[in-house]
């Protein structure tokens, strides 16, 4: 594999004819290129009548062109014109969808006429997906289903020939969490902060007590902190797409919010602003290098995060797990579903309900407290 000057990736391999063969198209990421190479390996292992990739691709396109529009031809334009509440898809979402298409969907359905895909084809594809990637599988199925729904719409049907959506596998588009999250205890949180560089301790505390996403806290600036009112104004977030930092609105419309800062954090933030943040309102709260406007990225941050979580005895703890910690702590205070959604910037109630369920683990503590109350009231 090699990266082209355009930033896209090219994949090639030496075939049975001892000649080097490149993919007939380039890829958004190295992972997508690896997926194409893996599919070629499977073909080499299972098909004795191997043909060069470009020749095979040309034959498929030629044979299937007469059959109608293919998914590879339909999907890019469909995604480019897709709107969510009137807003185009975000760059990170587009990158995710393109990766799923290249790695998971196109190898099976990319060059087949849309109108020829049957429910049996989709079911067979779904059954063959790797069992150890449930989230990727669910997202891929949901994307495929949405594309076919659009292809079958009254607007697109004359062009695609799709009369009904062939994606009929019940529950396939729902990602089921397979990793149990153990939130950080207050002692573990203290140990992590102590093990972090001084200029990053406040970042950990904001994630753990205010529930900010990494992209939100990485883009916080001096003007977003109102110590008088005790509020963080979350209006922007950082995402990394194809190696470039892009600052935009938070993940969802609900992500643009004001978050009340727990009072015990106000002195910490005040000291941080004095010691580690530039004077202007636009100065980053947590610059990668002091006095610069360079953001932290996940990769760079994890180089200091991993030793700190090891020091706290929590090598399993992801940075995003601090957001879960904040959510459970808020739920334990008795926060309502609507209050949790507002604080965390959730646009749906599904995630907030999960945190309220986690807080129900305090039931035994509540029962014990009730008994103590009863003992105090006894004559």
List the alpha helices (DSSP H) in the chain.
30-46, 53-65, 71-80, 91-100, 106-109, 119-128, 134-151, 157-160, 186-195, 201-210, 214-218, 266-276, 298-311, 321-332, 337-344, 350-359, 363-377
Length of the chain (residues)? 379
Which long-range contacts link 49-58 to residues 24+ away (Cβ below 8 Å)? 50/15, 50/16, 52/15, 52/17, 52/19, 52/21, 53/21, 53/22, 53/23, 53/24, 54/21, 54/22, 54/24, 57/24, 57/111, 58/24
Structure-block tokens of residue 366: 């509540």
β-bridge pairing 83-84 and 2-3:
unpaired
Residues near 181 by beta carbon (within 8 Å), at least 6 away in sequence? 321, 324
According to DSSP, the residues that pair with 70 across neighbouring strands are 113
* 8 Å CB contact between 241 and 92: yes
Q: Residues 145, 309, 323, 343: which is the catalytic one? A: 323
Residue in this structure with the two tokens 């963080």, named with its chain if needed: 232
- Is 320 considered catalytic here? yes
Separation CA 67–CA 208 (nearest Å): 55
Q: Residues 346, 354, 362, 372: which is the catalytic one? A: 346
- Is 355 considered catalytic here? yes
Structure-block tokens of residue 21: 């063969």
- Is 8 considered catalytic here? no
* 8 Å CB contact between 141 and 167: yes
Q: Residues 2, 42, 81, 320: which is the catalytic one? A: 320
Q: Residues 97, 106, 141, 355: which is the catalytic one? A: 355
* 8 Å CB contact between 102 and 111: no
Q: How many CB atoms lie within 10 A of CB 358?
A: 16
- Is 213 considered catalytic here? yes
- Is 141 considered catalytic here? no
Structure-block tokens of residue 9: 């990736």
Q: Residues 72, 98, 139, 213: which is the catalytic one? A: 213
Q: Which positions are catalytic?
A: 213, 320, 323, 346, 355
């Amino acid at each position: 594999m090699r990266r082209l000057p355009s930033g896209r990736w090219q994949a090639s391999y030496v075939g049975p004819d001892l000649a080097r063969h490149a993919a007939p198209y380039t890829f958004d990421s190295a992972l997508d290129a690896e997926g194409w190479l893996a599919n070629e390996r499977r073909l080499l292992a299972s098909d004795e009548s191997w043909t060069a990739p470009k020749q095979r691709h040309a034959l498929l396109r030629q044979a299937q062109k007469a059959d109608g529009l293919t998914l590879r031809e339909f999907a890019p334009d469909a995604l480019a014109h897709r709107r969510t509440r009137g807003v185009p898809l975000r760059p990170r979402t587009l990158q995710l969808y393109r990766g799923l298409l290249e790695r998971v969907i196109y190898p099976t359905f990319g060059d087949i006429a849309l109108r020829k895909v049957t429910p049996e084809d989709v079911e067979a594809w779904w059954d063959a997906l790797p069992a150890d990637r449930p989230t990727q599988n669910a997202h891929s199925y949901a994307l495929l289903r949405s594309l076919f729904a659009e292809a079958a719409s009254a607007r697109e049907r004359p062009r695609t020939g799709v009369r009904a959506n062939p994606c009929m596998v019940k529950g396939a588009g729902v990602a089921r969490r397979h990793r149990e999250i153990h939130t950080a205890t207050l002692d573990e949180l203290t140990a992590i902060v102590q093990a972090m560089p001084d200029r990053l301790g406040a970042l950990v505390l904001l994630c753990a007590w205010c529930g900010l996403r990494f992209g939100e806290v990485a883009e916080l600036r001096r003007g977003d902190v109102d110590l008088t009112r005790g509020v963080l104004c979350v209006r922007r977030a950082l995402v990394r797409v194809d190696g470039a930092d892009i600052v935009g609105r938070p993940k969802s419309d609900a992500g643009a919010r004001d978050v009340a800062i727990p009072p015990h954090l106000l002195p910490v933030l005040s000291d941080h602003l004095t010691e580690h943040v530039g004077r202007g309102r636009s100065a980053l709260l947590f610059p990668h290098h002091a006095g610069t406007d360079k953001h932290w990225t996940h990769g760079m941050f994890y180089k200091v995060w991993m030793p700190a979580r090891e020091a706290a005895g929590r090598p399993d703890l992801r940075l995003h797990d601090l957001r879960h910690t904040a959510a459970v702590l808020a739920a334990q205070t008795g926060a309502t579903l609507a209050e949790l959604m507002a604080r965390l910037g959730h646009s749906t109630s599904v995630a907030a309900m999960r945190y309220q369920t986690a807080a129900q683990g305090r039931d035994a503590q509540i029962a014990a407290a009730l008994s103590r109350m009863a003992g105090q009231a006894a004559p």
